Structure 1
Amino acid sequence: MKSAVIILLWLFFSSFFSFDVVARSESRLNVLFISIDDLRTNLGCYGDGIAVTPRIDHLAKTGLTFERAYCQQAVCNPSRQSFMSGRRPDSIRVWNMVDHFRQTAPDVVTLPEHFKKHGYFARSFGKIYHGQTGMNDPQSWSVPEQFDHSDKIEDYGQKPEEGSRKKNQAKQTAALIANNADADYADGKIAIAAIDALREFNRNDTPFFLAVGFRKPHLPFAAPKKYWELYDPAKIPAPTPVMPPKDVPAIALHEWNELRGYVDMPKEGPVSSEKARELRHGYYAATSFMDAQVGKVLDELERLGLHENTIVVLFSDHGFHLGEHGLWAKASNFELDARVPLVIRVPNQKAAGRKTKALVELVDLFPTLTELCGLPRPPKLDGVSLVPLLANPRGKVKEFALSQFPRPWQLNQQPQKMGYAMRTDRWRYVEWIDFQTRAILDRELYDLQTDLNEHVNLADHPQQAMRVAELSRQLNISLDHTSGPLLKKSNSPTPGEAPQ
């Protein structure tokens, strides 16, 4: 009887950890690493009843969906260099659109580079690093990156003109309906190239790390007409809230210059309600277009049988505002900018189709994939492995997630001020500091349990004084230790109940 109980217990626990058996098997797991640009959680699998995203929704049904995943800085270059290095922006000293970790943190071994060093063939199509000239990283890959850069004109599905760099880079309208084929856009070409790469991988036995970076729904919101026609404009909801949070400090807001650069956008003041509806329609259309390209790649992975031995990770580099709080684009510490979609699918995964509310960060992808593939963990990583959540989605791996954003936001300058955002189970606390002296300039506090859309900043409310002090203490402890997990240690001082 006793031995029977032991056998039953062994079967019970081994079923939870079956993906570990796959990782340790003789057949090494491949990685399909899908990065999306500017995608917030407007997806069917995240409860958006408007979004037409069947392919990502299907992936979610076969993987684990992370409902509370966060980027480390809500703009392309710092976010991408952060998750590709497994380190926070402060660790690699990259906060703008021009600095590169190879100069600021030359000891970094990137995620694909680490896999390459351990026998994987690492390949990249599309926007994985920032995607501008000089911002790629040849050292990360086994062969040169492809489609890592495209001219602005290609975002409209149009062909670049030779010798017309100014015209090719010029912003036109912020949204565009066109009778184009999918392959007229960069993402359509990227999907075709990724499919060809999968077929090539299928012909040899070398394990692969394939990174596929789709550009949409990044501005401009240009997509073939058929994707616009998936939506009834009258049913697309207006942004809410349309006003900034009550008592929010001015430093938390910005002028959304990224959108204002398009020819049909106002140079100052708000977007009209009609134009806002068009932009939101365009965002959904571009998202559905991107979803279709993702589906093509996943279909080929399955057709070739490679899905049986390939981890699939799909996520966004940061979120996006579509008129909420009077903001457009990214470049803030609000929940809509910091929160990202994240789905992980592992062969033989027992948590398939489930969701987790655990707080996680994009810096966690590096240690997660190394553990799943049985590779050693490199030193100095700032994230933690999410493997325990694949076994137990109700668990947690850290007490809070951190994001940050500098002010004033300049594309090519070092920060003068920095806002550090701590997202706990219930609260979003933001501390704005002088970046040189660390003197506190302003604070924000939002109760995301009762005020998910961040209507009211509670930081100066007297009844929140103790909570603010405790959150500030925890934040500063984490900033003093830029490497290492954020999970509360057993030998750390026990925090009060307030920050939970």
Structure 2
Amino acid sequence: MRRFVSAVLTLCLVAVISRPAVADEPKKNVLFIVSDDLNCSLHCYGHPKIQSPNIDRLASQGVRFDHAYCQFPLCSPSRSSFLTGLRPFTTKVLTNPGQKESPHFREAVPDHITMPQCFRQNGYFVARVGKLYHYNVPNGIGTDGLDDPPSWEYKFNPKGRDKAEEDKIFSLVPGQFGGTVSWLAADGTDEEQTDGLGATEAIRLLESNKDRPFFLAVGLYRPHTPYVAPKAYFDRYPLAEIELPALSDLDRSRTPKPAYGSAKKDQDAMTDDQRRQAIQAYWASVTFMDAQVGSILDTLDRLKLRDRTIVVFTSDHGYHLADHGLWQKQSLFENSARVPLIISAPGMAGNAKGASTMAELIDIYPTVADLCGLKAPDSLQGTSLKGALQDPEYQVKKAAFTQVQRGKNPGYSVRTKSYRYMEWGNGEEQLFNLADDPLEARNLAGLPENESAVQTFRTLIADTLKKDAPAGE
């Protein structure tokens, strides 16, 4: 009997030893697409007129975050923040280059491992196409901009017809295109534009790297000013069908003053006809940008990469289109701080649904690292959103924080499901119940019955500043 048992054990051991080893599960790829100056004017976010079929398609295949917010509504501070996973008061990047002194984040955190750098250190092919870190648009198109070389193995700086034909662009300030409202219904094809060239290169990189793990970051320049797109996209939005937003008494009086500190005289002087033309051009640029996203996603499908590729789509911040009487960014109001965020990860139970949790752009880094099984730096100040990808009702966090700078005085905002609270360096405060007042028309901060709520929000901001402050501060 003992010999029989011994023989059986021997056979089992041989079988285990001789069994073919199970291959390691292939690494998940990451396709990270960032639009520039895009608010939530997308069909999948409920806009009744915007045509965004490709981003809508992505939302139907992933999780759409309905309450996602940037940490600073300006290009360089925001991009430095979400690519490092650190808040702006940690990176010390609070302005764009050219706006007084604007440091590179490496000056404050020289040894920090960025999101693409984390993937690069884990054996991924890591590439940048277009604008990821700050670029002066359109002056910096075709250059490296304010790049971070350790982040990338390969880079590509597209430069298209829109850059060559700047003399044709209408601008509120002649000769100036990036800092003010400007637009052009362009001749030629999508492929001739800077974003068209970027999409073409992204497609080439997908084709040539389909058999190895990759982190491909594609930075699209539109709808950033100048709003340039081929004429056919303008034709989709007749001027007669564009309604201008209504202004509240607070908007007309511009109180408190710091809340409207992003206003510019040239934009204030626009006629209603110019406002409609500008909105038409912005919408046209959104739909043009969406078409480039579609070309990239089609390639992902054609190469059969979707079942092992995480796709993230977002913007660096939101954007005003005459709402609150403002244009562009750098305010703490909803349309400036809120961003679209769609994460399509294979096998997530929440795909094709909208997530209700509050989310911040600094959450992207820990999320994609988590999904790919990578060890992210302990110093990251965001939180993985994986729980919300599995269950869209799961609440990852209850509040999102955004900040701006008004000279030497900062402005801070906290957004919860129903409320937005803002505090300014001069002591002024704002509180809006967005559940009842989505246009942010009634400031509730000065009412005695809201003092307790205001104090709660003050504490939330103070605690976040203290918790996430760098050591020694």
Give the TM-score, by structure 1 length.
Answer: 0.82
CA contact (8 A) 2:403 2:413 kept: yes
- SS of equivalent to 1:341: strand
Which residue does 2:10 correspond to in 1?
none
| Maintained 8 Å contact 1:242/1:323 | no
Partners of 1:40 and 1:268 lie apart in 2 by 19
SS at match of 2:401: strand
**Pairing partner for 1:473 from 432, 442, 459:** 459
Q: Which of the residues 439, 450, 456 maps onto 1:464?
A: 450
Cα distance in 1, alignment partners of residues 421 and 262 from structure 2? 22
Q: Which whole-Å CA distance do the structure 2 matches of 1:35 and 1:451 have between them?
A: 30
State the distance in 2 between where 1:87 and 1:248 align. Answer: 31
Secondary structure of 1:481's aligned partner: helix
Q: Does structure 1 conserve the Cα–Cα contact (< 8 Å) formed by 2:429 and 2:445?
A: yes
Q: How does 1:124-143 map to 2 (within 5 A)?
A: 124-132=128-136, 135-143=146-154
Which runs of structure 2 are paired with 1:10-49 in the superposition (5 Å)? 26-49=25-48
Separation in 1, partners of 2:28, 2:129: 20
1:190-234, Cα deviation, whole Å (9 max, x unpaired): 0000000000012x3x21000000010011111101111112222
Q: 1:147 aligned to 2:157? A: yes
CA contact (8 A) 2:134 2:145 kept: no
Distance 1:418 1:426, change over 3 A: same
Look up the match of 1:14: none
Greater CA deviation, 440-449 or 333-342? 440-449
- The match for 2:122 is 118
1:177 and 2:176 correspond: no
Q: What is residue 87 of structure 1 aligned with on the other side?
A: 86
Is the CA contact 1:156–1:222 (under 8 Å) kept in the aligned structure 2? no
Is 1:423 the counterpart of 2:430? The answer is no
**Structure 2 partner of 1:20:** none
Distance 1:199 1:426, change over 3 A: same
- Please give the residue correspondences for 1:107-256 in structure 2 after superposition, counting only pairs within 5 Å: 107-132=111-136, 135-143=146-154, 145-147=155-157, 155=162, 158=165, 174-202=182-210, 204=211, 206-241=212-247, 244-245=250-251, 248-256=255-263
5+ residue gaps, structure 1, are: 1-23, 161-166, 258-265, 409-415, 434-439, 485-500
Q: Which residue of 2 aligns with 1:101?
A: 105
**Counterpart Cα distance in 1 of 2:291 and 2:145:** 30
Post-superposition offset of 1:268: 6.7
Q: CA deviation at 1:134?
A: 5.0
Q: CA separation of 1:157/1:279 partners in 2, compared to 1, >3 Å: closer, same or farther?
A: farther
Relative to 1, partners in 2 of residues 1:36 and 1:457: Cα closer, same or farther, differing over 3 Å? same
Q: Structure 1: which amino acid aligns with 2:448?
A: P
In the alignment, is the contact (CA less than 8 A) between 2:248 and 2:441 conserved in 1?
Answer: no
Q: 1:358: how far off?
A: 0.8
Instruction: In structure 2, give the amino acid aligned to 1:180.
Output: G
* Partner deviation per Cα, 1:294-339 (whole Å, 9 max, x = no partner): 0000000110011111000000100000001110000111111000
CA drift of 1:242 comes to: 6.3
TM-fit CA distance, 1:237: 2.3
Question: What SS is found at the alignment partner of 1:315?
Answer: strand
Q: TM-score, normalised by structure 2?
A: 0.86
Correspondent of 1:448 among 434, 438, 455:
434
Q: Structure 2 matches for 1:313-462, cutoff 5 A?
A: 313-408=312-407, 416-433=408-425, 441-462=427-448
Q: CA deviation at 1:398?
A: 0.9
**Structure-2 separation of matches of 1:291 and 1:25:** 36
- Quick check: 1:34–1:315 contact (8 Å CA) kept in 2? yes
Deviations 1:108-151 (A, max 9, x none): 110000000011110000110112455111110112x2117x5x
Q: Distance in 2 between matches of 1:248 and 1:121?
A: 50
Q: CA 1:243/1:227 → structure 2, altered by over 3 Å: closer, same or farther? A: farther
The 3 A distance-change label for structure 1 pair 200 and 243 is: farther
- Unaligned runs of 5+ residues in structure 2 are 1-22, 97-101, 137-143, 168-173
Q: Identity of aligned pairs, percent? A: 39
Deviates more, 1:449-458 or 1:382-391: 449-458
Letter aligned with residue 458 of structure 1: L
C-alpha displacement at 1:395, in angstroms? 1.2
Structure 1 pair 249–169 and aligned structure 2 pair: CA distance change class (3 A): closer
Distance 1:95 1:154, change over 3 A: farther
Contact 1:242 1:324 in 2 (8 A): no
1:168 deviates by 9.2
